[in-house]
Amino acid sequence: MPRENRKRGKKHKKSAEQEPAQDFVPQQEVEPTPEAGPSWISRAPANCEEDREAPFGYVDAEVKAYFRTVDVQIREWQEEQAVPEAEDDSDPNEDRRLFFVAALNEMSGKEKQLATDPDCSGILERMAYSMDDFARRVFIDRLSGSYEQLLKHRFASHVCQTLLTVAGDTITRECRGILPSAHDSEDSDDLRTLTQLVLDICEEITPTFSSLVLDPFASHVVRALLSLLIPELANHTNANGPSTIRSKKSAAYKAKQGPLKSVFTSLDRDTNVTGPVARPDGFSAAARRFVMDLRDKLDGNEVRALAANQVASPVLQLLLEVEARQQMSDEPGSLMDSVLTGMITTLHEDDEAKPEASDYVGTLLRDPTSSHLLETLVSRSPGKVFNVLWATYFQGKLPRLAVHPVANFVVAKAIMRLSAAQLSDACQELDGVTGKILKSARIGVFRAMVDRASELRQQESIVLEAICNAFGLQNIADRANLVPCVLRLLPLQDFKALPSESHDSNRHGHEHRSKKQTEDPSEPKTQGAVLLQTMLSLPSPHNQIIIDSVFSQSMDDLLAMSRHVTSSRVFDALLDSTAVPLKAKRQFILKFMGHFHTLADDRIGSRVADRCWASADPYLKEKIARSLIYHEQTLAASFYGKFFARRLNLNLLRRDTEKWKNLQITSKPNPPPPPPAAPAPAPVPEPSSTVDPPADVSPRKSGKRKRREQPEDEIDQLFSTALGKKTKKAELSSEHAAEKPAPEKESKSTKAEKGAGRDRVMEDVLGAIKTAPKSEVRSSKKKRLK
């Protein structure tokens, strides 16, 4: 079909062939018409999207295929437990080093292209854990000058984050003066240390730091950089709550990548970092410059906008931590002052001022994103500022905030900083809504109250009374059910309304539970178990209410608790807590007397039995062991109980009680007692010399010598005369081994004669055994067995 017939629209009257040929005239620029739009609108270039995805160019297909093989090999090495040892003195890591050097050589000059590639960026992250200090310095140096662009890239940002994460060990070694040996390369002479490289990165991104905080790809790199500059930031976030360095989605993705570790770690232990983390003084100044830069470039409204932003809020939390550690928070115009809407400035102007509550801070209390930032403010604010913050935004509003699904976490953080008088007022204010707090499962508020009372050593009775009222335990008789009620987070009326079958359902089949079974109201809850463990940390006698509740439970209920993975933690806290009296621990162990064989015959219960054994004194250990002698076969046949039986060493207890007692006294409390060491072999005297036994021989040694000198029976004499006494090679001294002549080669006739002689001796021995009485044969066998 002709081309003109396939075109859409109006047909041309004349084809291009019929038109007269005209001279070429260059096209003139046409001014834009009003209908075409303003002149500043221009069409984006065709390769704009490509430049954004690969700003430094694309990776060749062959290079990408090579690095895929590198990734497969490194994955296999990282999944191995240890590097196999070589038979000779050669380095078992030599093959791996050669492979890794080849990969680094292939990477040279293509670092930026590989970092921005969607496939190779993950391979670079895996390789970063196995790079030595020199390779890391070279890699980070090759990326210098482009960090602003790399941090905003979708894939290169993760490579930069991994490099900053693994750089901590190298910087610690540099601070201690451990520098890698110089390499024979062009860059080795002028190569900067990693400490200087990190400081140069900070200088490079400081002009655009305020924009990087808001970038969805660069913000997590900024968090990694701040945690590298001040390592206490990462430790603080990991210990007290969710990490602000890596999001949940990022942590889940990293967990799917398998073990990320060095392939040389198992043998290169001399390069590992042990001891406290060291950082140069310039790192703290670099973090301070970031805070000052954000102060100068952003006003109060812009800082408050960062607090509500999902991307920038975690970075602002770390900056508030840096500001508090640098003693910069209690200053007018600080980041904390901007978030608190000028509260610090008002207090500096008038110490007795009572600022009005801000709707913005009230919004932070209830926002899922900004509430984490407010937790940091409550924890790190100066004491005077916190008192005003508590009186303005919390006091008088606790009944509503404590039951809120988001604000209750901030309330729990604030309670951890209350004074004794403030804690008492808070308990009285929450007295009417403790039932609602329990019904909504906001147990973090109760736990914070118990922790603060335990830390202050005051107001313990008021806190315990508030918790008992929440569970409906008004009198002493009802408080015997405190432990089962708190474990299930149920008031006393609801707990008693549970059918008896639901109580028995917890005693069996706890190892594999479906989601429907875990939602059963009779199941122990993790929050309840944690609350009981916290209450056991209260000083005596305030923790006696929990101990009495445990002792009032029946043996079936105690065994059911010990077999559950959640409730068994309460027993661990009871035995490990220093606040629980020793008398109570002893009574708890005696409670299981006669039931240890049942307790040890379980996956979780055996661990509780081990805890009881480790906490018992030698007298109580002997009592436990003697009660299990009758059940020794049952424990030996149990899959879990056999390990507990080995720790008891019941065979030694039956043979030698005193030795067993001494072994229990000298053994460590937690691990099982090690087997007694075998005595060193004594040197064998020469045959020609006769040595008299020493006069001061111990009774045990003399008894052994007397047993050896007893006359042997006929069968033993026949074996000794026919085959001769065997001498262990280990008992020969080095002098005898040197004097012994080398054995000569025997002829075939001599070997045949010796073989015939052995056959005749064995025939005589077997004939003697057949003719000997059966009583003598049995007695000789018993002697050998002993």
pLDDT-derived band at 185 (thresholds 50, 70, 90) equals low
Widest distance between CA atoms in the chain: 138
Task: Specify the pLDDT at position 243.
Answer: 56
Task: Specify the pLDDT at position 767.
Answer: 60
Burial label, 757 (beta-carbon count in 10 A; 0-12, 13-18, 19+): exposed
Determine which of 304-313, 411-420, 693-702 has the lowest per-residue pLDDT on average.
693-702
Q: What are the Cα distances from residue 61, in Å, to 68, 75, 119, 120, 492?
A: 11, 21, 11, 11, 69
- Residues recorded for the chain: 786
Q: What are the Cα distances from residue 90, in Å, to 84, 85, 87, 95, 268?
A: 12, 9, 8, 11, 14
Start-end of H helices in 563-694: 568-576, 582-591, 596-600, 605-615, 618-627, 632-637, 641-648, 650-655, 657-666
Structure confidence by residue, pLDDT tens digits, 663-705: 888 765 544 434 334 333 344 334 333 334 333 433 444 444 4
Q: Residue 295 above 50 pLDDT?
A: yes
189-192: long-range pairs with CB below 8 Å, 24+: 191/134, 191/137, 191/138, 191/141, 192/137, 192/141
pLDDT-derived band at 772 (thresholds 50, 70, 90) equals low
Structure confidence by residue, pLDDT tens digits, 348-385: 988 888 888 899 999 999 999 899 999 999 999 999 99
Question: Is there a contact between 610 and 572 (Cβ–Cβ < 8 Å)?
Answer: no
Average pLDDT of 443-455?
Answer: 94
Structure confidence by residue, pLDDT tens digits, 477-487: 888 999 999 99
Place of tokens 């007694």: 676
Task: Specify the pLDDT at position 80.
Answer: 76
Task: Specify the pLDDT at position 455.
Answer: 93
Task: Specify the pLDDT at position 240.
Answer: 45
Among candidate residues 414, 428, 432, 484, the one with its CA nearest the CA of residue 459: 428
Residue 313 backbone dihedrals phi, psi, to 5 degrees: -60, -45
Task: Specify the pLDDT at position 232.
Answer: 86
C-beta neighbour count of 323 within 10 angstroms: 25
Q: What are the Cα distances from residue 52, in Å, to 47, 55, 56, 156?
A: 9, 6, 9, 12
Average pLDDT value over all residues in the chain: 78
Structure confidence by residue, pLDDT tens digits, 206-246: 999 999 999 999 999 999 999 999 988 876 544 444 455 66
Distance of CA 258 to the CA centre of its chain: 15
Task: Specify the pLDDT at position 260.
Answer: 81
Place of tokens 């990776």: 59
Determine which of 61-70, 356-365, 764-773 has the lowest per-residue pLDDT on average.
764-773
Distance of CA 279 to the CA centre of its chain: 23
pLDDT-derived band at 292 (thresholds 50, 70, 90) equals very high
Q: Residue 133 above 80 pLDDT?
A: yes
Most confident range, picked from 85-94, 341-350, 509-518: 341-350
For the record, the structure tokens of 169 come out as 């060990």
Determine which of 202-216, 251-265, 416-430, 441-455 has the lowest per-residue pLDDT on average.
251-265
Determine which of 215-229, 346-360, 726-740, 761-775 has the lowest per-residue pLDDT on average.
726-740
Cα distance between residue 486 and residue 28, in whole Å: 86
Task: Specify the pLDDT at position 207.
Answer: 93
Task: Specify the pLDDT at position 83.
Answer: 52
Determine which of 247-251, 258-262, 312-316 has the lowest per-residue pLDDT on average.
247-251
Cis omega (within 30 of 0) for bond into 32:
no
Task: Specify the pLDDT at position 503.
Answer: 54
Average pLDDT of 602-629?
Answer: 92
Question: Is there a contact between 78 and 263 (Cβ–Cβ < 8 Å)?
Answer: yes
For the record, the structure tokens of 328 come out as 């910069």
Phi-psi category of 679—alpha, beta or left, where left has phi over 0 and alpha has psi -120 to 50? Answer: beta
Task: Specify the pLDDT at position 89.
Answer: 54
Cα distance between residue 377 and residue 413, in whole Å: 10
Structure confidence by residue, pLDDT tens digits, 111-122: 999 999 999 999
Residues 6+ apart with CB under 8 A from 780: 713, 715, 716
Cα distance between residue 378 and residue 659, in whole Å: 59
Q: Residue 723 above 60 pLDDT?
A: no
Question: Is there a contact between 595 and 602 (Cβ–Cβ < 8 Å)?
Answer: no
Q: Residue 541 above 60 pLDDT?
A: yes
Determine which of 22-31, 180-189, 453-462 has the lowest per-residue pLDDT on average.
22-31
Place of tokens 């087997």: 675
